[in-house]
Amino acid sequence: MNFSDLDYQPIILTLQLATVTVVVLLIIGIPISWWLAHTRIRCRPVIEAIVALPLVLPP
Protein backbone atom coordinates (compact mmCIF):
# COMPACT_ATOMS: atom_id res chain seq x y z
CA MET A 1 0.00 0.00 0.00
CA ASN A 2 1.55 3.29 -1.10
CA PHE A 3 0.70 6.57 0.53
CA SER A 4 1.14 9.84 -1.26
CA ASP A 5 1.67 13.26 0.28
CA LEU A 6 -2.05 13.92 -0.05
CA ASP A 7 -2.77 10.98 2.23
CA TYR A 8 -0.63 12.41 5.02
CA GLN A 9 -1.92 15.99 4.88
CA PRO A 10 -5.03 15.38 7.04
CA ILE A 11 -2.94 13.57 9.64
CA ILE A 12 -0.35 16.35 9.75
CA LEU A 13 -3.07 19.01 9.98
CA THR A 14 -4.76 17.14 12.82
CA LEU A 15 -1.51 16.84 14.77
CA GLN A 16 -0.70 20.52 14.25
CA LEU A 17 -4.16 21.61 15.37
CA ALA A 18 -4.04 19.34 18.42
CA THR A 19 -0.62 20.71 19.41
CA VAL A 20 -1.71 24.33 19.11
CA THR A 21 -4.91 23.62 21.04
CA VAL A 22 -3.07 21.91 23.89
CA VAL A 23 -0.53 24.73 24.20
CA VAL A 24 -3.20 27.45 24.19
CA LEU A 25 -5.36 25.64 26.74
CA LEU A 26 -2.39 25.00 29.02
CA ILE A 27 -1.44 28.68 28.89
CA ILE A 28 -5.00 29.67 29.79
CA GLY A 29 -5.99 26.78 32.05
CA ILE A 30 -3.07 26.53 34.47
CA PRO A 31 -3.25 30.15 35.67
CA ILE A 32 -7.05 30.00 35.99
CA SER A 33 -6.91 26.77 37.98
CA TRP A 34 -4.19 28.15 40.28
CA TRP A 35 -6.17 31.36 40.78
CA LEU A 36 -9.39 29.48 41.58
CA ALA A 37 -7.57 27.22 44.05
CA HIS A 38 -5.84 30.04 45.92
CA THR A 39 -8.39 32.85 46.05
CA ARG A 40 -11.68 33.34 47.80
CA ILE A 41 -13.90 35.84 46.00
CA ARG A 42 -17.65 36.25 45.85
CA CYS A 43 -17.99 35.50 42.14
CA ARG A 44 -15.98 32.25 42.34
CA PRO A 45 -19.01 29.96 41.72
CA VAL A 46 -19.84 31.92 38.57
CA ILE A 47 -16.28 31.64 37.27
CA GLU A 48 -16.20 27.91 38.09
CA ALA A 49 -19.45 27.43 36.16
CA ILE A 50 -18.05 29.28 33.13
CA VAL A 51 -14.87 27.19 33.24
CA ALA A 52 -16.91 23.96 33.48
CA LEU A 53 -19.24 24.81 30.57
CA PRO A 54 -17.10 23.14 27.87
CA LEU A 55 -17.26 19.90 29.87
CA VAL A 56 -21.05 19.75 29.96
CA LEU A 57 -22.02 21.35 26.64
CA PRO A 58 -21.73 19.43 23.39
CA PRO A 59 -19.25 20.73 20.83
Q: Where do the H-state alpha helices sit in 39-59?
A: 44-56
**pTM: predicted TM-score of the whole model, two decimal places:** 0.71
Q: Treating both helix axes as pointing N-terminal to C-terminal, what angle do 44-56 and 5-38 enclose, rounded to 10 degrees?
A: 160
pLDDT of residue 26: 96
pLDDT of residue 7: 83
Distance of CA 22 to the CA centre of its chain: 5
The Cα 2–Cα 14 span in angstroms is 21
pLDDT of residue 13: 95
pLDDT of residue 29: 92
Task: Count Cα neighbours of 42 within 13 Å in the Cβ-side half-sphere.
Answer: 0
Question: pLDDT per position in the chain (59 positions), as tens?
Answer: 677 777 889 999 999 999 999 999 999 999 999 999 999 889 999 999 998 998 888 77
